[in-house]
Structure 1
Amino acid sequence: MSEAVHYRVSMSRPHTHLFEVEARFPAGPEVLDAVLPVWTPGSYLVREYARHLQDVTAVGPGDEALPVQRVDKRTFRVRAGGKAVSLRYRVYAHELTVRTSHLDGSHGYFNGATLFLYTEATRHLPHHVTVKEPEGWRTFCALERQGEAFIASDYDELVDSPFEVGPHTPHTFTAAGVPHEVVIWGDTVADAEKLTSDLQRICEAEARLFGGLPMRRYLFLVYLSDKGRGGLEHQASTALLFPRAGLQSSRGWEDFLTLAAHEYFHLWNVKRIKPRALVPFDYSQENYTTLLWSFEGMTSYYDNLFVRRAGLMSAQRYLTRLGETLTNLHTTPGRRVQTLADASLMSWIKHYRPDENSPNSAISYYLKGEVVCALLDLEIRRATDNAKGLDDVMRLLWQRYGDGSGVTEEGVEAAVNEVAGKDLTSFFDRAVRSTEELDYSVFSHVGLEVSFRVRDSAADKGGTPPARKTGEVKPKGWLGLTTRGQATVSMVVDGSPAMEAGLYPEDEVVALDGYKVDGAGLVGRCEDRRPGETVRVTLFRRDKLMELPVVLGQKPADAVYLTRVDKPSEAQKTAFQAWLGAAWDEALG
């Protein structure tokens, strides 16, 4: 046996959702401890993948049976006597997300962290994977292929290379001289030519920022389902989950492109420019860093920007989407409770484990990080008279840390200060290390200002100015909760009238002022009342009928939108042009 770890993956009975795996480890220690990761890079949550392993057995080089001892939740011990060992086991896979694995009669998708046992002693060796496909299926992976085997230089590269197996016909294109492949599961795309054309433009726009692409080929794995949205970045590929119905509308298509642009930007920001705290990955436990606001938030800032730069989003639409992001931030009370640095550090127990109190107690480092990076870009442009911006920070980080050595916890801030030519500590103290409201005055540098209004409905995402109405606009009553289903309370806003009156998550509201009501009617009828009026909310709590009086508050003005300043200077117009590549007069209609 060569000095490599060999895996064979089979799926003889796809309807059982069980992958069959054989892992062959070369001769080595007397005792072999084979372990499975508890998390996968890019998704900062301990997911306990070992809970899906079953039927683990071991054999020696002569196929003689060896006893296997389960040491802990993720470790399988074999007394190998210094000889080669093969572990055979099955893995249950019936969770269709980009960070897990899924097998059924239509395809097989697997992330390495969920499937491949490894040992610390052999982690640095090459890892080879052979896939036995059902008849008519093909295997797709970004790894190089030698004969029947896919070759990873080490276990880290293997974990970073998801596999898709199925009866798919890929779509291809070339961007910046590099071949790209798009494999789609779940449905067909009505206009595959438009899909590849749009992706090509985005990929080339991102490549221009860094002067080329850092890989020899790239694979998009696209999963179109009835629900769900998300992506997971990899060193030369990405997996994208998106609702198939979303591709039928222009806004849904736009949203898909921003998702693809986000994961593609991770080729640089996360996969190669990465926090030093994650070098090397410790697959056994949480890996802590305060920098996720930069690595994810900055990527979120660039995803819309690159769709714009690719000519696939107008400047006006870009500003509307930015306003929607600001609205999302200002409708999250947790921004006043958790700092951005802490949101990054505590992602393991907060971001990926939301509950009914999360909006009150936490903030997303994607969300606030995107806004902070937009402000940071403008701060640098203002400090350098538009000579430099966040692009220059990314190029500097790429130059210094693109080798994967890792950015120190202070490294991003130091790079920003260097590019800006001034100390921006006060900006970081406020935006990243405190819960103060952000300072939006820097938008004036590009001739814009931030405005607030009352949302028209729960579906109002903000981003646009108020609809023109004649006559006096009366204040709206406000309850301060959200519902799901018929009218089950899902979240109560901290300090709201609903909280003060004693309404709880999971309360089932059945009537308002004695009349039957559903969730939409509950909110709408309260908004028709004046602030200060008392309403009677009838509900079931753990099957007990109750009635609570609630004194309505005034609906807050938390929808955010950007407007043009009056009488902009030529400098402001020039700065806007440099930022978004469009004339200031074209922005916002």
Structure 2
Amino acid sequence: MSDSSIHFSISFVEPQAHYVDIEMDIVNFSGPFIDLKMPVWTPGSYLVREYARHVESFSATADGNALNVEKTAKNCWRVENPTRNIRVRYRVYGFEASVRTNFIDADHAFISPAATFLYVDGQLQHSASLQVNMPEQWTKVSTGLTLLDAEKHLYAVPDFDILFDSPLEIGNQDVWYFDAENVAHEFAMVGGGTYNKKQLSDDITKIVEVETAIWGENPNTNYVFITHNYQTGGGGLEHLNSTVLGASRNAYKTESAYKNFLSLVAHEYFHLWHVKRLRPKALGPFNYEAENYTTGLWIIEGFTSYYDNLIIRRCAFFSVKEYLNALANDFNLVYNRPGYQIQSAALSSFDTWIKQYRPDENSLNTSISYYNKGAMLAVALDIHIIASTGGEKRLDDVLREAYRVFYKNEKRGFEEAEFQQLAENVTGVDLRAIFEAAHSTVELDYNLYFHAVGYELVDLNKNSQELSLGIRINENDGKLLIKNVEKGSGAWDAGLNVNDELIAINNIRLDNAGKELEFLLEHGQVDDIVDVLVARDGQIRTIHVPLRHTTKQLWSIQEQLDAADEQKRLGKIWLAVAT
């Protein structure tokens, strides 16, 4: 099939109704039929999203004559192939604002390729081309794909892995350019905002420089930042030479929010090495039709979650205190979920397909995030390597060598065991305890590591006498509803349920502001039994709940007052600003 070809053409006949129209020309493929498939998930977002549910009006023709089409699976259309020149037409509905799904309206279109384009079964490595036909009111396309013809908005598609990894922003986005580390960077802002272009360009240039120094090279010639600004928004998704970010349009003028945005940029940009190239074996080549299981997300996402804020520190955007507060937040997010005693970082990675993107009212009792727990393990690794080598090595050296060995030389993904072995070979440090902790719910003594660099992890709530029922509450349409019940709390043992409406406590009507409940917790005594009047599915009942001390932890990372000079020296290496 050396002369076979695939060409896509997309149009927007009814953008206000949230549709993109796709034509797919398939030339010179042999066989009695062709199976066309749509991915069920998109790389970087580990959930089967069933993109095919948004496909409508599927048809196929050859020389203007209709061909028989049979849908053989949820994401597969079988097209008869009596000739070698087939045109397939279909529509895709897109109206979900996120970094991983299509969103189309009268103002612009964000196209997530995995949610839009079909591939010929067994031909993921086939090349293609893509033409974007825009409504008259739209003027720009932002994408990491290579432009072939600017007038026609025609793009080259080397293979379908690259297509599915190259989102498109189409409309009238605010676009500007800057160069960093010999890479041309495009910034595309959608939805307005209070951003300062020069400041963003300068600050992100610094991030690019610091990250490139970690890895030793920047593998791209061009890179695209697509940012969707909302009234409130967040999140990001990495791609091979682009990223899609979500932000709040007015947050750029707030110092803390702006720094958080820079941390998001640092996180997603770090992924162009750490996951898009250096990766676990399970994450490429991809099976787009099913889950791709790995226990290693704590390495690729967790390490990235450690480095994002550390890079902001190395750029001198964070003070030491700001950085330590950001790092302590990972410990607070993990240790204030009873699920850390049930789910390890590795199991969280493996179960991401059924848990991470599908939280429910009991998730905090049963699960953790491999992002936060992975960051905790990463800081232990980094500090342990620094301390054990007298500051000669650190986690940077491990990543740089792993990138060279697995991605550049061997051109493959890694297994966790060989990643650990490489890390120990590079540093000469025994790292077994930390890697084993990733597969266990037995917690490391993190102060064994922090003390080595003159810092200490402290729970400021350790001796708190604060009382708690063990519930989280939402106010909804004038009703106080229980949102979560903490495992092992008084509410858990007494039988308060999620969605119970709180009406009164000890015969005192509760106000919507929760002041009566606050008063009770401030003036009650531990082990007091309080009578909680609730409405459960319309039925009134009283639950007798014991008051207990809060289990909320408040972690802080502080300097050790009695740290020796060597500890202080190593701590300075750990938190140094890049030069």
Q: Which TM-score band (shorter chain)?
A: over 0.9
Letter of the structure 1 residue corresponding to residue 550 of structure 2: K
Match of 2:53? 51
Matched, 1:530 2:536: no
**Contact 1:478–1:526, Cα closer than 8 Å, also in 2:** no
Query: Which residue does the alignment assign to 1:566?
Result: 561
1:293 pairs, out of 290, 298, 313, with 298
1:74 shift after superposition? 0.3
Alignment of 1:88-103 (within 5 A): 88-103=89-104
CA distance in 2, matches of 1:198, 1:136: 33
C-alpha distance in 2 between matches for 1:557 and 1:12: 54
Q: Distance in 1 between matches of 2:450 and 2:363?
A: 30
1:470 aligns with: none
- Are residues 190 and 284 of structure 1, via their aligned partners in 2, closer, same or farther at CA, if it must alter by over 3 Å? closer
Say whether the 8 Å CA contact 2:510–2:516 is kept in structure 1.
no
**Is the 1:477–1:526 contact (alpha carbons within 8 Å) kept by the matching residues of 2?**
no
- Tell me how far apart the structure 2 counterparts of residues 157 and 260 of structure 1 sit (CA, whole Å): 21
1:483, distance to aligned residue in structure 2 (A): 1.6
> Cα 1:438–1:522, aligned 2, differ >3 Å: closer, same or farther?
farther
Single out whichever of 402-411 and 43-52 deviates more from structure 2: 402-411
SS in 2 for 1:568: coil
* Structure 1 segment 404-553 matched on structure 2, within 5 A: 404-429=411-436, 431-440=437-446, 441-454=448-461, 475-486=465-476, 487-513=480-506, 514-518=508-512, 520-521=514-515, 524-528=518-522, 529-553=524-548
Residues 44 and 238, structure 2, Cα contact 8 Å, conserved in 1: yes
CA contact (8 A) 1:308 1:314 kept: yes
Contact 1:30–1:82 (CA under 8 A) maintained in structure 2: no
State how far apart, in whole Å, the 2-side matches of 1:345 and 1:556 are: 28
> In the alignment, what sits opposite 1:578?
573
What 5-or-longer segments of structure 1 have no aligned partner? 456-472, 584-589
From the superposition, tell whether residues 55 and 447 of structure 1 become closer, same or farther in structure 2 (CA, over 3 Å).
Answer: same
Q: Tell me by how many angstroms 1:523 deviates.
A: 5.5
Question: How many positions carry a matched residue from both structures?
Answer: 564
- Do structure 1's residue 24 and structure 2's residue 25 form an aligned pair? yes
Match of 1:65 in 2: 66
1:187-266 map, 5 Å: 187-266=192-271
The AA in structure 2 aligned to 1:494 is K
CA contact (8 A) 2:336 2:552 kept: no
Contact 2:184 2:223 in 1 (8 A): yes
Call closer, same or farther: CA 1:523–1:146 in 2, change over 3 Å. farther
Alpha-carbon distance in 1 for matches of 2:380, 2:514: 35
Equivalent residue, structure 2, for 1:369: 374
**What stretches of structure 2 of length at least 5 have no aligned partner?**
none
Shift of 1:428: 1.8
1:267 matched to which residue of 2? 272
| Secondary structure of residue in 1 paired with 2:282 | helix
Contact in 2 for aligned 1:510/1:518 (Cα 8 Å): no
2: distance between equivalents of 1:420 and 1:498? 49
Aligned letter for 1:390? L
Q: Secondary structure at the match of 1:71?
A: strand
Q: CA deviation at 1:280?
A: 1.0
Tell me if the contact between 2:113 and 2:166 (Cα under 8 Å) persists in the aligned partners: yes
> Structure 1: how far apart are the matches of 2:516 and 2:288?
47
1:5 matched to 2:6: yes
Distance 1:52 1:522 in 2: 48
Counterpart AA for 1:34: L
Q: CA deviation at 1:362?
A: 0.8
CA distance in 1: counterparts of 2:300 and 2:107, whole angstroms: 35
Q: Partners of 1:84 and 1:401 in 2: how far apart?
A: 41
Q: Which amino acid aligns with 1:491?
A: N
Return the offset for 1:557: 5.1
Q: Cα distance 1:6–1:351, how it changes in 2: closer, same or farther (>3 A)?
A: same
Shift of residue 520, structure 1, vs aligned partner:
4.3
Superimposed CA distance per residue, residues 169-195 of structure 1 (whole angstroms, 9 cap, x where no aligned partner): 302211111111111111233422212
Q: Secondary structure at the match of 2:352?
A: coil
Mapped to 1, the partners of 2:249 and 2:390 lie a distance apart of 44
**SS state at 1:414 partner:** helix
> What are the superposed Cα offsets for residues 389-414 of structure 1, whole Å, 9 maximum, x if unpaired?
10011101110122451112323212
Q: TM-score, normalised by structure 1?
A: 0.93
Say whether the 8 Å CA contact 1:333–1:360 is kept in structure 2. Answer: yes
> SS of 1:78's equivalent?
strand
Cα 1:355/1:423, change in 2 over 3 Å: same
Indicate conservation of the 8 Å contact 2:34/2:121, yes or no.
Answer: no
AA aligned opposite 1:219: V
Partners of 1:367 and 1:82 lie apart in 2 by 54
| Percent identical | 35
C-alpha separation between the residues in 2 aligned to 1:523 and 1:254?
36
In 2, Cα distance between equivalents of 1:446 and 1:174: 37
Alignment of 1:167-186 (within 5 A): 167-186=172-191
TM-score by length of 2: 0.94
Please list every run of at least 4 consecutive aligned residues from structure 1 whose deviation after the TM superposition is greater than 6 angstroms.
Answer: none
Question: Would you say the 8 A contact 2:3–2:28 is kept in 1?
Answer: no
Supply the AA of the counterpart residue of 1:415: L
Residue 466 of structure 1 is matched in structure 2 by none
| CA shift for structure 1 position 526 | 4.3
In the alignment, which residue of structure 2 is the partner of 1:356?
361
Q: Which amino acid aligns with 1:521?
A: K
Please, which moves more after superposition, 39-48 or 251-260? 251-260
User: In structure 2, what residue type is equivalent to 1:350?
Assistant: K
The 10-residue stretch of structure 1 (129-138 or 359-368) with the greater mean CA deviation from structure 2: 129-138
Whether 1:316 aligns to 2:306 is: no
Distance (whole Å) between structure 2 residues aligned to residue 71 and residue 191 of structure 1: 51
- 1:131 maps to 2:124: no
Kept in 2, the 8 Å contact 1:272–1:402? The answer is yes
Structure-2 separation of matches of 1:271 and 1:190: 28
Paired with 2:431 and 2:134, the residues of 1 have a C-alpha distance of: 55
Q: CA separation of 1:162/1:474 partners in 2, compared to 1, >3 Å: closer, same or farther?
A: closer
Aligned pair in 2 of structure 1 residues 526, 158: CA closer, same or farther (>3 Å)?
farther
Offset from partner CA, 1:57-107 (integer Å, 9 cap, x none): 0011x1221121111100000111351222100000000100111000111
Moved more, 353-362 or 208-217: 208-217
- Secondary structure of the residue that 1:299 maps to in structure 2? helix
- Provide the residue aligned with 1:37 in structure 2: 39
> Aligned equivalents of 2:516 and 2:73: distance in 1?
50
Distance across 2 between alignment mates of 1:261 and 1:94? 28
Cα distance per residue 1:95-146 (max 9 Å; x no partner): 0100111000111001110000111333211121100011132111111111
